[in-house]
A and B are shown apart, each in its own frame.
Chain A
Amino acid sequence: MTPFTTLTAVAAPLNPGALADNVDTDAIIPSREMKSTGRTGLAEGLFAPWRYVPTDDGTRLPNPDFVLNLPEYAGARIIAGGHNFGCGSSREHAVWALAEYGIRAVIAPAFAPIFAANCIRNGLLPVVLPRGAVEALAGREVTIDLATQTVTCGDATYGFAIDAEPKEMLLEGLDAIDLTLKSQDSIGAWTAADRAARPWIYL
């Protein structure tokens, strides 16, 4: 996994509606855009309902009004969003699509829990800041520094909270499974004891 240390980029405010609340994973990538059982080929479907307009011949064209289609946000790497970002379906495809498109961080007042966990596992940083701060930095160039847990925008610096474990996973680019397999012996011992205590669990 690609480590996340620092990132300087423009924070694209997610249209439609600056900082729309409850942006759901169906909007980030609709089910119909998940065309294979793989984890790639998803960037084209990112924000499909908002990013494209359908044409009469069944194809689609870029929606000139959608934020990621505006020249100033071409190649966006950071998204600024509203409350409860990433709610809805657990589909990790939402994060895979963001990552494949080039997004490395999302800044929002709150994230849906499954989406935030999926971000960590894929090297994306979910940054939680108060709504006022997100609004202040939306559309501007910001520098995110994970080690110091700060977002700097012009003269303003905002601190953000992140749990120690996900921070370490992102900074080091760690693979969670590899890390956990180092505890295989203690997990095995726990399981052996549990097998005696709760035999009905083991089928």
Chain B
Amino acid sequence: MSTAPRTLFAKIWDAHVTATTAAGADLVAIDRVFLHERTGASALKSMAASGRPVIDPARVFAVMDHIVDTRPGRGDQTLMQGGQGFITETRAAALAAGITLFDVTDADQGITHVVSPELGIVLPGCTLVAPDSHTCTQGALGALAWGIGSSEAEHAMATGVLRLMRPKTMRVTFTGTLPKGVTAKDMALTLLARHGAGGGAGHAVEFAGPAVEALDIEARMTLCNMATEFAAMAGFVAPDAKTYAYLAGRRYAPAAFDAPYWADLKTDDGAVFDAEIVIDASEIRPMVTWGTSPEHAVPVGAAVPQGPQRAHDYIGLEPGATMAGTPIDVAFIGSCTNARLSDLRRAADILRGRHIAPSIKTALVVPGSMAVKRAAEGEGLDKVFEAAGFEWRMSGCSLCFFAGGESFPAGSRTISSTNRNFEGRQGPGIRTHIASPEVVAASAVMGAITDPRDLMAEAAQ
């Protein structure tokens, strides 16, 4: 029997459709649900109040990441007023529901989208949802993973499925080879700059092409992480030998990936997508955002373009200003975008033997998980960061957003390895520039936004 060529998306979706309603919605089986303390307790408490149990608690996980403190010696207390309640209520609700919780002091604690791949919870070909927009990060493992609201999380936990309209498909192909010093973060920001923050709306996006295949698994997570900034339902990369090697031996992963199932998780030759975008990776440069949407991104060496006046007013940069050399106050390396071991290694390579500029008021490294923290310490990276003037913290989402905890005076300018530069995202009046860990490290050293290749060239001489 011959079948028409199918996309990887279609293969995963079709394999999970348990039924289709008369109104045309698919009831899509959900293999994994992940919660965090910011939205998880809401969902679990609401279910309990309705008398609805979690139908398969073994496939539901939770972690404390969003407002948990990251200072050494932390407990349930947080700098956010009332934050402790989110932690204690999530703990109680998780216990009552019988789901697996990676708690504040657990060795496996970390950011949801760092912990899940690390433990082999997300798997190629699986469906995974979480009430967190950056769940698309986990598509890097070849899964269909996407963010949902709390009500949908309840729905998935109570029924095992979600009622969904089938999205359209898009393939974003990166041809060629990334130049040295240019990373997956720059690929994501280039896509957003060229095609807009709404460019992926209504689509499930497969990232493909030689420059994507060349990325290691952690870098693929960085790329897929920002699919939500592209308004895509999900972003993913077809699993390959690197994927299976990454997952081998992880706690929740199968002992072997030898079933025919795994070999078929790829887009067939000749499969048709609803939309296609092609970007030549060799043209990509280290990027930085100038404004208040992730689509407001330019190469570090470029000038600020004309954008919405409100964005210029908020960020304090007029059209024509050069991004490179813009003085910064705060440097942050962390988040589900860029806080894995490879991210920390690359930043440390730039910081080794250097120190942050005296004008930098705060420089922070927050590892993506406690496992990343231990591994980095095993390589002495913590000492490199500390010698350079960075603080070395426990894991959590930290400065990626402001929930009432740590922040800075209004008008402060941060260079941040995170994913959102919205108005007030890091605190009222804070001006956020998002970039790769390399750009953050180089900018911290120079006290102003800097192309990391300038320092890499220096180190090589």
Asked whether A118 lies within 8 Å of B163 as measured between CB atoms, the reply is: no
Q: Is B82 an interface residue (CB 8 A)?
A: yes
Flag A118-131 by CB within 8 Å of B: 1 or 0 each. 10011000000000
Q: State whether A88 and B202 are in contact (beta carbons under 8 Å apart), knowing that A177-B158, A180-B163, A201-B126 are contacts in the complex.
A: no
Contacts of B233 in A (CB 8 A): 113
In contact, B123 and A180 (Cβ under 8 angstroms): no
Other-chain residue from B42, B123, B201, B202 in contact with A200 (beta carbon distance below 8 A): B123
| B3 interface residue (CB < 8 Å to A) | no
The answer to whether B254 touches A200, judged by C-beta atoms less than 8 angstroms apart, is yes
Residues of A within 8 A of B42 (CB): 37-39, 92
Complex contact B45–A203 (CB within 8 A): no
How many B residues touch A, CB cutoff 8 Å?
A: 77
B324 at the A interface (CB under 8 A): no
Which of B18-26, B334-342, B451-459 binds A? B18-26
Let me know if A84 and B123 touch, CB within 8 A.
Answer: no
Enumerate chain B residues within 8 angstroms of A111, measured Cβ to Cβ: 201
Give the CA-CA distance A111 to B152 in the complex, in Å. 17
A21, A26, A38, A201: which contacts B123 (Cβ < 8 A)?
A201
The answer to the question of A35 belonging to the interface, with a C-beta cut-off of 8 Å to chain B, is yes
Give the nearest-CB partner of B158 in chain A: A177
Are the C-beta atoms of A180 and B150 separated by less than 8 Å?
no
Question: How far does the alpha carbon of A177 sit from the alpha carbon of B148 in the complex, in Å?
Answer: 15
B201 near A203 (CB under 8 angstroms)?
A: no
Please tell me if B6 contacts chain A, counting CB pairs below 8 Å: no
Residues A37 and B58 in contact, CB atoms below 8 Å apart: no
| Any B CB within 8 A of the CB of A70 | no
> Given A190-B18, A201-B123, A84–B151 Cβ distance below 8 Å?
no
Give B253 Cβ to nearest chain A Cβ, in Å: 8
Nearest neighbor of A115 in chain B, beta-carbon distance: B149
- Cross-chain pair count, CB within 8 angstroms: 190
Q: Does A112 sit within 8 A of B, measured CB to CB?
A: yes
Q: Which residues of A contact B308 (CB under 8 A)?
A: 17, 20-21
B52 at the interface (CB under 8 A from A): yes
Residue of A35, A89, A110 contacting most chain B CB atoms (<10 Å): A89
Residues of chain A lying within 8 A (CB to CB) of residue B160: 187, 191
Given A90-B147, A183-B27, A177:B154 Cβ within 8 A: yes
Contact with B18, one of A54, A112, A187 (Cβ below 8 angstroms) = A187
Pick out which of these stretches binds chain B: A2-10, A133-141, A160-168: A160-168
Assuming A90-B133, A180-B27, A200-B254, is B165 touching A27 (CB within 8 A)? no
Also in contact, A202 and B59, with CB within 8 A (given A22-B293, A84-B197, A187-B159): yes
- Least CB distance, A81 to chain B, in whole angstroms: 12
Contacts of B123 in A (CB 8 A): 200-201
For B24, give its contact among A54, A117, A165 (CB under 8 Å): A165
Q: Is the CB of B231 within 8 A of A112?
A: yes
Q: How far is the CB of A86 from chain B (nearest CB, A)?
A: 10
- CB neighbours of A103 from chain B (8 A): none
**Given the complex, which residues of A lie within 8 Å of B424, measured CB to CB?**
26-27, 30, 49
Q: Does B38 contact A (CB under 8 A)?
A: yes
A148 within 8 A of B: no
Provide the residues of chain B in CB contact with A89, threshold 8 Å. Answer: 132-133, 401
Instruction: Report whether A121 and B58 are in contact in the complex, using a CB–CB cutoff of 8 Å.
Output: no
Whether the Cβ atoms of A26 and B159 lie closer than 8 Å is no
Q: Is B107's CB within 8 Å of the partner chain A?
A: no
* 23 residue pairs bridging A and B, Cβ less than 8 Å apart: A26-B425, A31-B403, A32-B80, A37-B85, A39-B150, A83-B198, A84-B231, A90-B131, A90-B147, A90-B148, A92-B150, A95-B149, A114-B148, A117-B148, A163-B165, A165-B163, A177-B159, A183-B18, A183-B159, A183-B161, A184-B159, A191-B18, A203-B252
- 19 new A-B pairs (CB below 8 Å) besides A90-B149, A202-B58? A17-B310, A21-B293, A26-B401, A31-B401, A36-B82, A54-B428, A90-B39, A90-B131, A90-B135, A90-B148, A92-B151, A117-B152, A118-B149, A165-B25, A167-B23, A187-B160, A191-B29, A197-B261, A201-B123
Closest 4 CB pairs of A and B: A200-B254, A92-B149, A84-B198, A118-B149
A→B interface (CB under 8 Å): 16-17, 20-22, 24, 26-27, 30-32, 34-39, 49, 54, 83-84, 87-92, 95, 110-114, 117-118, 121-122, 163-168, 176-177, 179-181, 183-184, 186-187, 190-191, 194, 197-198, 200-203
Using CB atoms and an 8 Å cutoff, list the residues of chain B in contact with chain A. 18-19, 21, 23-25, 27, 29, 31, 38-39, 41-42, 45-46, 50, 52, 56, 58-59, 80-82, 85-86, 89-90, 123, 126, 131-133, 135, 147-152, 154-155, 158-161, 163, 165, 167, 196-198, 201-202, 228-229, 231-233, 252-254, 261, 293, 295, 308-310, 401-404, 420, 422-425, 428
